[in-house]
């Protein structure tokens, strides 16, 4: 699957995966991964069922709501990082959190806070994400919990 560049195109991938799941159509591998994350977030199911609204809605910090597509996308990114072992050391941070929290979904939630912060800084600074800062944030989070 080739990843689109625009916000609406990316959202359409989530919406189509959810629609295919809902109608019991066969899913491609990436669609299965997306659906796995969606199933962990029942609070987003209604939004995904209303595709037009989901495509056009803005989610800004000023509105006090989080972006469900960003949130789910970060879950997928964490899972991809764990599957590939990149950045090096991520698995040990995940395992430390998992040992303490005993819930894979909650461990991912803590990790995506770090990933979101590192990605935000990279975007703000027009730079590559800082893997060292990311791993340090993960270490701090796993030490805290």
pTM assigned to the model: 0.89
Percent of the chain with pLDDT over 90: 77
Q: Specify whether the CB–CB gap between 30 and 1 falls below 8 A.
A: yes
Q: Confidence band (pLDDT; 50, 70, 90) for 8?
A: confident
Lowest mean pLDDT among 6-10, 75-79, 82-86, 91-95: 6-10
Q: Specify whether the CB–CB gap between 21 and 27 falls below 8 A.
A: yes
- Tens digits of per-residue pLDDT, 30-69? 999 999 999 999 999 999 988 778 888 888 777 777 899 9
């Amino acid at each position: 699957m080739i990843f689109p560049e625009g916000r609406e195109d990316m959202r359409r991938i989530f919406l189509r995966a959810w629609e295919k799941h809902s109608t019991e159509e066969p899913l491609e591998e990436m669609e299965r991964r997306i659906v796995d994350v969606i199933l962990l977030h029942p609070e987003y199911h209604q939004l995904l069922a209303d595709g037009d609204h989901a495509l056009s809605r803005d989610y800004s910090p000023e509105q006090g709501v989080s972006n469900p597509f960003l949130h789910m996308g970060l879950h997928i990114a964490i899972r991809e990082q764990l599957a590939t072992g990149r950045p090096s050391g991520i698995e040990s941070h995940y395992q430390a959190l998992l040992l303490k929290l005993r819930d894979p979904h909650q461990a991912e939630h803590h990790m995506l806070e770090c990933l979101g912060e590192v990605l935000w800084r990279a975007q703000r600074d027009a730079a590559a994400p800082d893997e060292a800062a990311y791993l340090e944030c993960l270490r701090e989070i796993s030490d805290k919990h």
